[in-house]
Amino acid sequence: MTEIVWDPDDRKPPNHEALESEIEALASGARVKLTLKGEEWLVRALAPAAFCSRGADFSGRDLSARVAEFLNENGCPALAL
């Protein structure tokens, strides 16, 4: 199950539920932290460590760019960490 955290929680976008559904599809099982810095969400999305045992290295677990690109395409300014 994907864990999505908006920090601060009270500033998440009005359409956060729709965004979260798509993030779950893009980063299934990942831990996704979205931290608001100014007007931009900083994205850190990591697939579970068990993913490494399937031959992927740490960079293969990092789904931050994918999530940030999706958010940007949907009117939510974001930057992958």
Give residue 7's identity as a one-letter amino acid code.
Answer: D
Residue 23 to residue 19: CA distance in whole angstroms = 6
Q: Is it the case that residue 52 has pLDDT exceeding 50? A: no
Confidence bin at 58 (pLDDT 50/70/90): low
Percent of the chain scoring above 90 in pLDDT: 80
Containing 78, the helix (H) or strand (E) segment is strand 78-80
Q: Is it the case that residue 72 has pLDDT exceeding 60? A: yes
Q: Between the CA of residue 52 and those of 3, 27, 38, 48, 62, what are the distances in Å?
A: 18, 15, 34, 8, 11
Q: Which residue has the higher pLDDT, 55 or 16?
A: 16
Q: Which pLDDT score is estimated for 1?
A: 87
Average pLDDT over residues 18-31: 96
